Amino acid sequence: MQSAPLEPEPDSPQVVLDPTPDVFSVLSPSSSGLEYVPDRPRMLCECASSANVVSPQPGSRFTTLSSLEKFGTVPPEQASCSRRAARLMQKANERVGKPSLRFAERHWVLAPLLFVVATIGVGFAVGWIFPVRSFQGVINLAEVQLFAHIVMLVWYNCPEDAMRRSEECPDVNVYFDMNLLRASGQSSRAANNDGHTPIFTVNATTYKLYDAGSDNRYNSPQFRTYISMTTIFDGSDGRSIQAYPFNKYLAELAFWAESSYDNQSIAIGLIGSSGVVPGFDVVPNIDFSDDLAHNVTTKTFTVTRSQGVRIYAILIVIAVWMITITLLLICIISVVLGKGIEREVLVLPVTNLFVFTQLRSTLPGAPSGFGADIDYVGVLPCLVLLTFSSVLMCAVFLFRDREKHAPRWIRRHPETVETVTA
């Protein structure tokens, strides 16, 4: 049963809805009955209440009267701030926006060219300001195998001007802590005791002959070590590949040298190291062995993603979210509010489902499968939202013509009664 509209009480001002969307009218008591008061601005109503507001008739295009109760007098401070912000936006549009638009219209070939050049310049600037770090010296950083947790180093021995079998370049055996190196197997095999096998032997005589170029039959005095990386070392918390692009690894190296004649400890001085691995920052902590007990040299590497990789990954996530929010708003306006859209717009959510996965695959060194933190805060939520948007925007075709405005949209926006396309 349909309820009857509320009857206005006598001797009390009444508020009724006017056919125009932006004003309302007040009926006040008088000797001759109800007197019509001209239209007043909607935001100046102070007498509306649930007791004296006349309900609209069924089928009216107006919303319920509870929404009118939300309107009240605008505070002077808020109105002043709004006017000030509007003036600033207007000045910015007149001084920057309109001149830029007129310039782009007059020079429609030059404007895109300048934009492309500026974009390329910004890219070069980011790459120049945030490069991968390098370090100079005796050790050459050759490779970082992230998923195998390996850092490969190439070692060079003895100063060039040292004499054969002299104090600077004796015949030595070089030892390493084997449990800190990565062997062919996945498990460490060396026991926790003395009696190490030298990883490399330096013969001073053959080294000087090779270095002088007088006899190249000898092997070059170089060798490689594969260092194991870990995410936890000496109380420093690392971050695994789960935290990409903010993953952080630590690698420790302990080595020493002994004379091949009398097994006396020999100090190994590391002048420095060099090498660059694309996409990584490898920061060494160089110590000299003669400052430690038994002339043992320890070295710690901190391996992180470069600043360029981090910035690129963050920009990709921001771009994915911006596209998702834009398409989600289109879906809400079309499906919920009933605005008509062109048919070509419907394919955008579906195509972006594949575009996002391709963008994710361009991240340098990212895990091959989904599961990193950047996936949970970026790609995966956006894929879910785009999937639902695609389903809703396509399913509405079963109920109405998507290129025409729905009746609820026309009631709110009567000026847009024509269809989107002819």
Residues 289 and 174 in one domain: yes
Report d(CA 245, CA 303) in Å as an integer: 12
Q: Name the nearest CA neighbour of 173 among 196, 202, 194, 195.
A: 202
The predicted model scores a pTM of 0.53
Does the pLDDT value for residue 237 go beyond 70?
A: no
Residues 205 and 274 in one domain: yes
Q: Give a yes or no: residue 84 inside a domain.
A: no
Q: Give a yes or no: residue 144 inside a domain.
A: yes
Q: Give a yes or no: residue 113 inside a domain.
A: no
How does strand 139-145 pair with strand 273-274?
A: parallel
Contact in structure between 346 and 392 (CB atoms under 8 Å): no
pLDDT in tens, 324-381: 888 888 887 777 777 777 777 777 777 888 888 888 888 888 887 777 888 888 888 8
Q: Give a yes or no: residue 126 inside a domain.
A: no
pLDDT in tens, 164-215: 445 556 777 777 777 777 665 555 556 666 567 777 777 777 766 666 666 6
Residues 323 and 294 in one domain: no
State how many domains the chain has.
Answer: 3
User: Tokens representing 193?
Assistant: 């005791």
Q: Give a yes or no: residue 30 inside a domain.
A: yes
What DSSP assignment string belongs to 3-72?
A: PPPPPPPTTS-EEEE-SSTTEEEEEEEETTEEEEEEEEEGGG--S--TTTBPPPPTT-SS--GGGGGG--
Residues 173 and 191 in one domain: yes
Report d(CA 30, CA 296) in Å as an integer: 105
Residues 233 and 373 in one domain: no
Q: Provide the mean pLDDT of the chain.
A: 66
Q: Name the nearest CA neighbour of 319 among 359, 279, 375, 361.
A: 359
Q: How many residues are there in the chain?
A: 422
Q: Phi first, then psi: what are they for 203, rounded to 5°?
A: -100, 115
Task: Give pLDDT, residue 227.
Answer: 76
Report d(CA 356, CA 382) in Å as an integer: 9
pLDDT in tens, 312-324: 888 888 888 888 8
Q: Give a yes or no: residue 389 inside a domain.
A: yes
pLDDT in tens, 47-95: 333 344 444 444 443 333 333 344 445 556 666 777 788 888 888 878 8
Residue found by looking up tokens 């935290």 in the block: 243
User: Tokens representing 312?
Assistant: 């690129």
What Rg do the C-alpha atoms of the chain give, in angstroms? 38
Residues 278 and 291 in one domain: yes
Residues 313 and 295 in one domain: no
Report d(CA 124, CA 24) in Å as an integer: 59
pLDDT in tens, 243-297: 888 888 877 777 777 877 777 777 776 666 666 677 777 777 665 555 677 777 7
Report d(CA 19, CA 8) in Å as an integer: 19
Contact in structure between 21 and 413 (CB atoms under 8 Å): no
User: Tokens representing 268?
Assistant: 């190994």
Residues 144 and 282 in one domain: yes
Contact in structure between 188 and 178 (CB atoms under 8 Å): yes
The residue out of 259, 277, 305 marking a domain boundary is: 305
Residue 217: which domain range?
139-305
Residues 165 and 61 in one domain: no
Q: What average pLDDT does the segment 1-16 reach?
A: 47
